[in-house]
Amino acid sequence: MRLAALAYLILYCTAALAQNPRVSKWPTKDNVYVIRNFRFGTGETIPELSLHYLTLGQPHRGTDGHIDNAILLLHGTGGDRHTLMNPVFSDVLFGPGQPFDITKYFLILPDDIGQGDSSKPSDGLHMKFPEYDYDDMIRSQYIMLTEGMHVDHLRLILGTSMGCMQSWVWGEAYPQFMDALAPFACYPVEVAGRNRMTRYIAIESIKHDPAWKKGEYTTEPIEGLRGAEAMLLVMGSAPLQMQKNYPTRAQAEKYVDDYMARAITHVDANNLIYYVNASRNYNPEPKLYTIVAPALWINSADDFINPPELAQQIISARVLPKMPKTKFIILPITDATRGHGTHTQAAIWKDELVTFMVKTEKK
């Protein structure tokens, strides 16, 4: 899974890193929209911000004249517009009669800023690229949708991992723009504690490699990337599956060696620093009460990044009262769960999504 992989192995099951998973052959349309003179939250600007995205299906306007069937699907950290085309997601959800039936819905899968083929540090600016964050991502998505695609309303936003966090930001920034939210694999609180520590370790592993040269390297800083990828591997791992699939020392070590070889080949160090650090000021908690859209929020009990004890001991009592329209589910560990990457294993939570789509359908 190359860079997109960071959405699949690195920060989400291996939320990113390995080789692109097999992708189903759906009739996607590849698109690009360029925002001129985009201003970032830091005050920095870029003459052209290029945003790539896939679409499936056709937009439909309701009797009120607004688009009523658009669904925005948001990938995880280091992923891209192809990440959620993985068969374990797309084959379960996009077919006839399924929750995101492409003969009924208009699906939009963007490359976020800094990822996939959208504008990113490795295009040439390196560490001089604007220091983007989730707010910038959401605002650029909104501009792309409204000005580039003329989509003025969303039936649903479903986001995984980073996309999960972005879903909460969307709900606060544009509360009337969507009918419903489906954030999978995150918490709507500041990225702190072990979560921030692991991200910081990955970033600093690269910055402390002399070969990084403050981002002006001509060959990738391999040792720094190895340290970063090692941390990301642990973050995305599922203990039960790891033990089952690699039950001997030799098998476990071979998996690590193979993983590193794939990951380092497909990742740019500066890009990684930027997209891992984009969550640095994420904290929707103070304004959760402003979200008006109903939400289906699903985490998995074997998620290293978002462990269930945080919900049990800290988060549930603190944030759920602010979100009366939110249903929160922690999936129990089974042979089918995949740690953080459970968010892409649609068969596990599909029934909950079906019920939610029916419940939030406009009468």
Catalytic residue list: 161, 303, 340
Residue 284, class by beta-carbon neighbours within 10 Å (0-12 exposed, 13-18 middle, 19+ buried)? buried
Q: What are phi and psi of 342, to 5 degrees?
A: -60, -25
Interatomic CA distance for residues 68 and 297, integer angstroms = 22
DSSP-based helix, strand, coil % in the chain, nearest 5: 45, 20, 40
In contact, 5 and 266? CB cutoff 8 Å? yes
Residue carrying the six token digits 């937009």: 59
Q: Could you tell me how far CA 295 lies from the centroid of its own chain? A: 17
User: Please, is 250 exposed, middle or buried when counting C-beta atoms within 10 Å of its C-beta (0-12, 13-18, 19+)?
Assistant: exposed
Task: Please return the burial class of 48, using the count of CB atoms within 10 Å of its CB with bins 0-12, 13-18 and 19+.
Answer: exposed
230 vs 239: CA distance, rounded Å: 15
Structure tokens at 140: 């650029």
DSSP string covering 201-230: HHHHHHHTSGGGGGGT-SS--HHHHHHHHH
In Å, how far are 56, 202, 223, 278, 352 from 167, measured between CA atoms? Answer: 20, 24, 34, 15, 18
Can you tell me the distance from the alpha carbon of 330 to that of 363, in angstroms, rounded to the nearest whole number?
29
Distance CA 185, CA 202 (A): 20
Report helix, strand or coil for 326: strand
